[in-house]
A and B are shown apart, each in its own frame.
Chain A
Amino acid sequence: MASEVLAKPQMRGLLARRLRIHMVGAFLVSLGVAALYKFAVAEPRKRAYADFYKNYSPEKDFEEMKKAGIFRSIK
Chain B
Amino acid sequence: MAAPAQLGLQNAASPIMEELIAFHDHALMIIFLISSLVLYIISLMLTTKLTHTSTMNAQEIEMIWTILPAMILIMIALPSLRILYMTDEFNKPYLTLKAIGHQWYWSYEYSDYEDLAFDSYIMPTYFLEPGEFRLLEVDNRTTLPMEADIRVLISSQDVLHSWAVPSLGVKTDAIPGRLNQAMVASMRPGLYYGQCSEICGSNHSFMPIVLEFIYFQDFEVWASYLYI
Knowing A30-B37, A42-B22, the reply to whether A14 touches B214 (Cβ < 8 A) is no
CA A41 to CA B214, docked complex, whole Å: 32
Interface string of B192-224 (1 = CB under 8 A from A): 000000000000000000001011001101100
Knowing A26-B37, A30-B37, A31-B33, the reply to whether A41 touches B25 (Cβ < 8 A) is yes
Q: Separation in Å of the B137 CB from the closest CB of chain A?
A: 10
Q: CB of B7 within 8 A of chain A? A: no
Interface set, chain A 48-75, CB cutoff 8 A to B: 49, 53, 56, 58, 61-62, 65, 70-74
Interface string of A6-34 (1 = CB under 8 A from B): 00000000111011001001110111011
B interface majority secondary structure: helix
CA A73 to CA B188, docked complex, whole Å: 16
Q: Which residues of A contact B81 (CB under 8 A)?
A: none
- Tell me if B218 and A73 are in contact (CB < 8 A): yes
Q: How large is the interface on B (under 10, 10 to 19, 20 to 34, 35 or more residues)?
A: 35 or more
The size of the chain A interface, using a CB distance under 8 A, is: 32
Q: Separation in Å of the B216 CB from the closest CB of chain A?
A: 11
Q: CB of B56 within 8 A of chain A? A: no
Q: Which residues of B contact A37 (CB under 8 A)?
A: 25, 28-29, 32
- Tell me if A27 and B187 are in contact (CB < 8 A): no
CA A74 to CA B226, docked complex, whole Å: 12
CA A27 to CA B26, docked complex, whole Å: 18
CA A42 to CA B32, docked complex, whole Å: 13
Q: Which residues of B contact A53 (CB under 8 A)?
A: 187
Q: Which residues of A contact B215 (CB under 8 A)?
A: 62
Q: Give 6 A-B contacts (CB < 8 Å), ordered by A residue.
A: A15-B50, A26-B37, A65-B190, A72-B141, A72-B212, A73-B212
What is B's interface to A at a CB cutoff of 8 Å?
12, 18, 21-22, 25-26, 28-30, 32-34, 36-37, 40-41, 44, 48, 50-52, 141, 143, 146-147, 187-191, 212, 214-215, 218-219, 221-222
Other A-B pairs, 8, CB within 8 Å; known A15-B48, A26-B40, A29-B37? A15-B50, A16-B52, A18-B44, A34-B29, A37-B28, A49-B12, A53-B187, A61-B189
